[in-house]
Structures are given as structure tokens and as C-alpha cells.
């Protein structure tokens, strides 16, 4: 957990950059893909880093969710994508906002509101891990698909934990429902959503009104699960070589320094775009086009636009604004059937990867 607040000059830019990145992903891959990306904790962390947040802070969750809610509000009907809920008081408004969204687009808002309340109950009661929920964000599309992002805090440990849900993967709300849970392991917890806890859940139904110790004893007998891959979020604030896959970073740098004009001349011909902006656009291009395995080191994306607290460097506003301008223009042209600029950013990402494969060592 990190203290401090996002300054207004960064919050406003995060909303604009978040909107245009989402628009680009929807253009290239469709609306369902943005739900899948948001449900992947490594991509989500990298997304926050490329937007200028400190790469491993708990504030990434609240800031990204808030930026998307503000940035997508003017185009939610056009994209068919609605961001509901948020932090604190806004989280308690989620069911009402879902009902309102359902009335606008013809969805069963009451059922969505029930789903929202149930998910909050699952992560607040069925998963008892010492983290108290304080953020609940529900992103739903016009056809009723959704992703949910929740975050809990443990002040005593100075840590936060994030819970990701994706509708297309949910077969049961109480049996292995999560797309992912991002947080440091802290040993044995009460997790009644584990598949092996089915007997304990059944017993609870039978044991309503009886001594709850019997239920807990049943849970304790369950064998500890094999831990999934962990997103390592160390306590140090700065970005260190050990936090970054340096050969990937080198590939991006080489794509800027190498014979770029022959490969992405359309991009370089945009007035005012220099090497520094090309580098930031290469990072944003990877956020748009990268597969999940690319995002195991979100610290790398902090090199696109820096971090609000100056790590690895202060946010360079001219570069940030130029990234937004280039992407905004590219998405606008793509809507008119002129996909050359948006395709150029995709080729920039491809060239960075090609050079990364050819690099030896860091």
C-alpha cells in the first residue's frame, strides 16, 4: 500500500490515455477482449504503469478504475461498455448504477445488481484472507458480459489484494469463480471457493444454526492448494534491474534507435513525434497487442511515461500528451477506415519484439 493522491494533471491525462487505449483494443480485437485484459492481473498492473502510476502501488487499482470510469463515460454508448462502481462510497452505488445501465440498453439490471452483491459477498465472506474490501468495480457490455475488479486492504501488513472476475469463465459463483487473485501469499486461509471445499459448503447448508466450529474444522482438513504464479510486488519504490526483463526493454529501445523509418515511416512522419514519444508508443503498442505472458514484469512499462512519484523518472508531460494525441488521431482515422496510423503502432510493437529475439544478454 502506498500513500498519497494522484495529482489532477495526471488523473486527467490517465482518463484520456485510458480511453484511447481501450478504443484501440476494441477496434483491433473486439469489445470482449478488453474484459479479458482487465481480468488478467499482470496486464492490469502493466496498464496502470504505462498510464503513469507507480508500477507496484495499491493505488494502481483505484486510479485505473477511476480513469476508465471518467474517460469512457462520453463514449460508453458508442463502445457499449459501462464502468460502474469504484472506491468507498462509489462501490456501494454499484447495484444502482447497474440497474440504470440496464434500463438504458435493455439488460436485466436487477440480475446484474444481484451478481454484484454476490461477488462482493464471496470475496468478503467465503474468502477470509485478512483483507477488507474497499473497492468494487463492475464493467459490463451491452450484451451482458462483464468483468469485476475488487480490492481489499490489510493495514496491519501494509498490503492490498486484488480480486479479478470474468463472466465468460464463471461456471459457479462459489466454486473456483475467480479469473485471478493478485496478492502476496500469507499461508493458510479460509477459502470456501476452493473446489475441494465443496463438502464444507454442503455441510454449512446442513449446519445452519449449529456450531460453526464444525464447519471450520472441515475447512482446515483441506490440503493446501498448489500456489499459482505470483505477481511479485516488492516494497521498494524505485525500479531496479531485477524488476525488469531487460532484454525485452532492450528490444523496445532498439526498435527506436534502429532503422525505424523503413518500417514505420507513417508514424515518424507525424509532426512532433521524436524518439522519446516513439518509445512511449512502443510500450503502449505492447499494452494493446501483447499476450498475457508479456506482462510478468509491469515495472518495464513504467519507462513509458514515468511515475507520479518520480520513479523511475518524473512524468514527462509533453511526451504523455503527444502519446495521447497520436493515439487519438490514429483511432479517429481507423473509424473512417484509414487504419494506417493505428497499424503503424502495431508494427512498432512487432519490430520491438523482433529485435528483442535477436538480442543477446541484457
Task: Kindly indicate the confidence band of residue 191, based on its pLDDT and cuts at 50, 70 and 90.
Answer: confident
Q: Give residue 80's region: left, alpha or beta (phi > 0; psi -120 to 50).
A: left
Going by the DSSP 8-state scheme, the letter that residue 228 receives in this structure is P
SS in 3 state form for 72-99?
Answer: HHHHHHHHCEEEEEEECHHHHCHHHHHH
Q: Is residue 284 part of a domain?
A: yes
Domain hosting residue 312, numbered range: 241-358
Are both 18 and 92 inside the same structural domain?
Answer: yes
* Burial (0-12, 13-18, 19+ Cβ within 10 Å), 198: middle
Place of cell 492448494: 225
Residues 102 and 109 sit within 8 Å (Cβ to Cβ): yes
Are both 208 and 89 inside the same structural domain?
Answer: no
Beta-carbon contacts of 209 under 8 Å, excluding residues fewer than 6 positions away, are none
351 has a pLDDT exceeding 70: yes
pLDDT tens digits, one per residue of 212-226 = 555 456 555 654 555
Q: Picking from 25-29, 111-115, 122-126, 142-146, which range would have the lowest pLDDT averaged per residue?
A: 122-126
Angle at 268 between CA 266 and CA 271, to 5 degrees: 100
Decide the pairing of beta strands 81-87 and 127-128.
Answer: unpaired
Place of cell 434500463: 103
Q: Is residue 232 part of a domain?
A: no
How many domains are contained in the chain?
A: 3
Place of cell 481501450: 22
Q: Picking from 70-74, 175-179, 235-239, 295-299, which range would have the lowest pLDDT averaged per residue?
A: 235-239
281 has a pLDDT exceeding 90: no
Are both 31 and 150 inside the same structural domain?
Answer: yes
Question: Angle at which helices 340-358 and 246-257 pack, to 10 degrees?
Answer: 120
Q: Is residue 231 part of a domain?
A: no
Amino acid at each position: 500500500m502506498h500513500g498519497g493522491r494522484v495529482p489532477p494533471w495526471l488523473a486527467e491525462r490517465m482518463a484520456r490515455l485510458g480511453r484511447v487505449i481501450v478504443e484501440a483494443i476494441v477496434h483491433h480485437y473486439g469489445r470482449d477482449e478488453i474484459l479479458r485484459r482487465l481480468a488478467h492481473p499482470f496486464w492490469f498492473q502493466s496498464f496502470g504503469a504505462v498510464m503513469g502510476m507507480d508500477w507496484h502501488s495499491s493505488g494502481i487499482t483505484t486510479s485505473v478504475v477511476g480513469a476508465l470510469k471518467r474517460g469512457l463515460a462520453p463514449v460508453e454508448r458508442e463502445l457499449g461498455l459501462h464502468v460502474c462502481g469504484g472506491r468507498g462510497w462509489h462501490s456501494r452505488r454499484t447495484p444502482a448504477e447497474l440497474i440504470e445501465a440496464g434500463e438504458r440498453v435493455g439488460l436485466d439490471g436487477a440480475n446484474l445488481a444481484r451478481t454484484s452483491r454476490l461477488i462482493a459477498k464471496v470475496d468478503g465472506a467465503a474468502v477470509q484472507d485478512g483483507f477488507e474490501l474497499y473497492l468494487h468495480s463492475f464493467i459490463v457490455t451491452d450484451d451482458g458480459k462483464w468483468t469485476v475488479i475488487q480490492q481489499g486492504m490489510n493495514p496491519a501488513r501494509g498490503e492490498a489484494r486484488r480480486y479479478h472476475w470474468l463472466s465468460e469463465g464463471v461456471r459457479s459463483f462459489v466454486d473456483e469463480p475467480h479469473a485471478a487473485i493478485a496478492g502476496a501469499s500469507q499461508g493458510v486461509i479460509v477459502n470456501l471457493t476452493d473446489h475441494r471445499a465443496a463438502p464444507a459448503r454442503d455441510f454449512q447448508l446442513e449446519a445452519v444454526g449449529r456450531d460453526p466450529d464444525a464447519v471450520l474444522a472441515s475447512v482446515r482438513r483441506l490440503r493446501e492448494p498448489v500456489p499459482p504464479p505470483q505477481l511479485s510486488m516488492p516494497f521498494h519504490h524505485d525500479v531496479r534491474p531485477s524488476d525488469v526483463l531487460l532484454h525485452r526493454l532492450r528490444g523496445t529501445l532498439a526498435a527506436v534507435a534502429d532503422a525505424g523509418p523503413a518500417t514505420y515511416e507513417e508514424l515518424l512522419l507525424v509532426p512532433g513525434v521524436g524518439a522519446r514519444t516513439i518509445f512511449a508508443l512502443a510500450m503502449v503498442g505492447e499494452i494493446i497487442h501483447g499476450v498475457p505472458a508479456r506482462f510478468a514484469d509491469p515495472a518495464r512499462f513504467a519507462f513509458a511515461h514515468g511515475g507520479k512519484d518520480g520513479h523511475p523518472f518524473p512524468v514527462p508531460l509533453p511526451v504523455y500528451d503527444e502519446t495521447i494525441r497520436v493515439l487519438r488521431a490514429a483511432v479517429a482515422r481507423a473509424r473512417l477506415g484509414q487504419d494506417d496510423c493505428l497499424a503503424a503502432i502495431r508494427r512498432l510493437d512487432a519490430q520491438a519484439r523482433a529485435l528483442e529475439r535477436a538480442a543477446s544478454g541484457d
